[in-house]
Structure 1
């Protein structure tokens, strides 16, 4: 999809030839004498339109307006939250097959974060998954103009919005693919395709290399599947070699049956989403390729299936992790922490500034926080605050959970250094306490995205979260380090037109 940023007042917007013109009418709107202002003013006066975010009035072949369809849309206070809420209210309009070119015009002064939110909201509303639906209609919307009174002050925010869209859609694509179209090997191929982006390199480790590294916990999970495991290693280098990287670790269980501790049949198909942590890391790197921030980032993805054949790990088996700690596998459906623990140990070799792991780890987190916020666990207050603030800024919310040592009591085992589960009570916390044992001294955070990574029901599908949170965190981290003189800033080009490929090569 093509996004354009254009200086466009309402007088000029009325002459724009497009299939859909959306006019964002803010609180305190001051109308001019142009046709669109007159329409909006009359609608507001008569009560047919309110400036509250999401209220709207649809018009067809409006007099003195070139667009066939016009939507007068309340934009509230113009904040990112209000703009996103407003555009979500007319989401189905962007999927109409007749709408190929759209203009979204701010009737008042645009806030930078509002412009970025507009780009993301339109992309989200028009997204269509079609990879394994050959007869489905593909996305018809192919060009969107974002019209603002003054373009220059919001140009960087516009570019950030387009970069985020590229990353989120890459994550959604791989999250939505069925497990037979997103095997560990295919996930590795997706990572390799990112190597064509500037400053990104990819290396893929197979079973032999993982065995040499001593990743016994990771290998134990993969044992029951015919699909060979992959350890994917991505590197983005936007700063000097001496600058410590941020390491992102994404859980990549491309399908989770539960293993020998097999899951119930109902909704088991949704376990294709168990690699959404991995998909989010891929999405972040796709966005980094667009945005080119001055930061070093490493992405690590342990990818495998969790299957229940004759070679599968059994409840009661004891495995040895890369750290040398032994683990009694009390429940084979608590496999995510087993693949992550070895890769958290591996992450230490990069001497990271911080490590963030992202995983659809526990149903307990869904019970605690639902689908609104991701669970955030951290051993470092500064890192936790930065991630929480990034989530707020990105409208990709998280909530910090406790890590009291008392929660680790249930992990004690008579036959190994620890068990992999600690009962139902506080399940998301005890899972995080398990991971913490493999972290060492570096700043670490764990994002449990089991409730936020996908939606069930009629709108079933990947959300692309928490790509937005992670990208905002990395951009903030890069700005902070640049401001302190730690790294030399590398500014991306900020053209008025940005294009991204919504599906991987």
Structure 2
């Protein structure tokens, strides 16, 4: 999809769809319409069409409530085929970033539902608390691009055509044109990264294997002089003594891969930010077999890896001036004859021995070796992303990812990035009191810590392998995909990670 910023009046632009804001009428039914319900360009159009919009608001045909949309055709006074009025709630009340995001998603859905090939967004009259015009533009580009995403490549019938190809964002102040144009590019690139994340997450386990992820990583690097990719095979991992990671793939015919992408967009001397993604392409639980109901959703257990690869796609499209390394620990967890058994003890790359009490707690086993491997890059910071624990879903549901860190400043940066991106995380405790739950009678550490605080003890496990640098862990088990009728990968937390890296670059 193409995005442009223009300083032209929205009413003079030829377009299939013109999106304009309206607000709730504060007057009682039958009274004269409050002037606050329409303002700016919407009021100009209302004057030009003999008060049609005001009349519809007064009659109650347009509510103006947050996210409500109404399509008007052949409106006099503009060159649009149709005008889509977007409700933003009560005028005068602070419009939060969350409310703006909700409204713009509804606007994107309304435009998508029409035959429109292009749209004009006129939102410069809209004030969002603690956010500027560039932020509004970036969010708009992200959500409009995301609205046209569909995953139908494995269906025999052709996908329905989505007409929307171009969006123009109007800017009142010419001085803001450059910043808004850049923000539109960033928002679009973020959504492109989210789309890759969704594609990889939605693919079934018989297609999206560890070797498939490696191929996709190499495809990302193809033709890009700033990006290189490699994938270590099991022989190379054995030479590195990655006994923990290899214990997960032991029961599968699919070989594990350790995928490494290096993006060199910053100064040669600048330390990189390292992203580590859990890539369990299918998780049966191994010998500690999961229940059959809902096991199909375990194809999503590589969404941490998918989000890391999606983030790398986004920042390369944005040409971000930053050094970033992505490490994906990819494996399939199967209950084969050579599979790791409960009670087995393995030696990690760090030299620490691990008693595997539950083979379904496998994500931390692949991540711990990847975290040790990350040390060689002398990172500025390391952020790992994983669909790690059902306990995190119990704690936070689907609305926020769990965030753990050994550095409060790093945690705060990620939390703020999540707020700005509309992809929230919540700071969880990483207290020493929880560490003792991982004690083992027979090894240095056990891979589970009992039923209490499962998401926390999983993070505690990872923290023992991340002492050499500033580190954060995102548990995305509740946010990476939706179940039920809307089943599918969400593309989270690509948006959070891209926002974080943008802030690091600036």
TM exceeds 0.5? yes
Q: Which residue of 2 aligns with 1:482?
A: none
1:89-104 aligned at under 5 Å gives the runs 89-90=106-107, 92-96=109-113, 98-104=115-121
Mapped pair 1:475 → 2:502: yes
Q: Tell whether the 8 Å contact from 2:389 to 2:454 is kept in structure 1 after alignment.
A: yes
What is the CA–CA distance in structure 2 between the aligned matches of 1:112 and 1:224, rounded to whole Å? 50
Structure 2: distance between partners of 1:448 and 1:393: 19
Residue 70 (structure 1) aligns with: 83
- Map of 2:31 onto structure 1: none
Q: Distance in 2 between matches of 1:363 and 1:68?
A: 49
Q: Match of 1:147, SS? A: strand
Q: 2:320 aligns with which of 286, 293, 308?
A: 293
Task: Compare relative contact order (CA 8 Å, sep 6+) and give the higher one, 1 or 2.
Answer: 1
Q: Describe the SS at the equivalent of 2:44.
A: coil
- Aligned residue number for residue 144 of structure 1: 166
Deviation at 1:3, TM superposition (A): 2.5
Cα distance change of structure 1 residues 380 and 177 upon mapping to structure 2, 3 Å threshold = same
Q: 1:112 aligns with which of 126, 134, 137?
A: 134
Partner Cα distance (1:116, 1:37) in 2: 34
Whether 1:223 aligns to 2:250 is yes
Matched, 1:17 2:43: no
The equivalent residue for 2:394 is 367
Query: Structure 1 residue 114: deviation in Å?
Result: 1.3
Query: Which of residues 217, 220, 225 in structure 2 aligns to 1:194?
Result: 220
Q: Helix, strand or coil for the counterpart of 1:263? A: coil
Partner of 1:159: 185
Whether 2:99 is the aligned partner of 1:82: answer yes
Is the partner of 1:89 in helix, strand or coil? helix
Are the aligned partners of 2:4 and 2:181 in contact in 1 as well (CA < 8 Å)? no
The counterpart of 1:179, out of the listed 199, 202, 205, is 205
Give the length in aligned residue pairs. Answer: 476
Instruction: List aligned pairs for 1:327-342, cutoff 5 A.
Output: 327-342=354-369
Cα offset for 1:155? Answer: 1.9
**1:105 and 1:341 mapped to 2: Cα distance?**
48
Q: Deviations over 1:234-276 (max 9, x none)?
A: 0111112211111000000011010011111111111010000
Question: Aligned partners of 2:242 and 2:444: how far apart in 1?
Answer: 16
Provide structure 1 residue ranges, at least 5 long, that are not aligned to the other structure: 480-505
CA contact (8 A) 1:373 1:396 kept: yes
Instruction: Say whether the 8 Å CA contact 2:242–2:369 is kept in structure 1.
Output: yes
Report the Cα distance in structure 2 between the residues aligned to 1:139 and 1:215, rounded to whole angstroms: 47
Q: 1:4 to 1:91 in 2, by over 3 A?
A: closer
Q: Contact 2:280 / 2:301 at 8 angstroms: preserved in 1?
A: yes
| TM-score of the superposed pair, with normalisation by structure 1 | 0.89
Give 1:340 deviation, angstroms.
0.1
Residue 82 of structure 1 deviates from its aligned partner by 3.0
Q: Is contact 1:330-1:420 (8 Å) kept?
A: yes
**Contact 1:257–1:271 (8 Å) recurs in 2:** yes
Q: Judging changes above 3 Å, is the alpha-carbon distance between structure 1 residues 134 and 62 closer, same or farther for their aligned structure 2 residues?
A: farther
After superposition, residues 394-473 of structure 1 pair within 5 angstroms as 394-473=421-500
Corresponding residue number in structure 2 for 1:32: 44
The 8 Å contact of residues 364 and 426 in structure 1, kept in 2 or not, is answered as: yes
1:93 CA drift (Å): 3.4
Shift of the alpha carbon at 1:65? 5.0
Is 1:358 aligned to 2:356, yes or no? no
CA distance in 1, matches of 2:49, 2:186: 29
- Relative distance call for 1:254 and 1:446 in structure 2 (3 A) is same
Secondary structure of the residue that 2:199 maps to in structure 1?
Answer: helix
- Secondary structure in structure 2 of the residue aligned to 1:236: strand
2-structure distance, mates of 1:292, 1:387: 21
Q: Is the 8 A contact 1:131 1:177 kept in 2?
A: no
Q: Residue 238 of structure 1 corresponds to which residue in structure 2?
A: 265
Moved more, 434-443 or 337-346: 434-443
Which one is further off, 442-451 or 204-213?
A: 204-213
- Residues 143, 191 of structure 2: 8 Å contact kept: no
Q: Which moved more, 1:28-37 or 1:385-394?
A: 28-37
Name the structure 1 match of 2:238.
211
Residue 392 (structure 1) aligned with residue 419 (structure 2): yes
Map 1:338-349 → 2, pairs under 5 A: 338-349=365-376
Question: Once the 2 structures are TM-superposed, how far is the Cα of residue 131 of structure 1 from its aligned partner?
Answer: 1.9
RMSD: 2.1
Runs of at least 5 residues in structure 2 that lack an aligned partner in the other structure: 25-35, 128-132
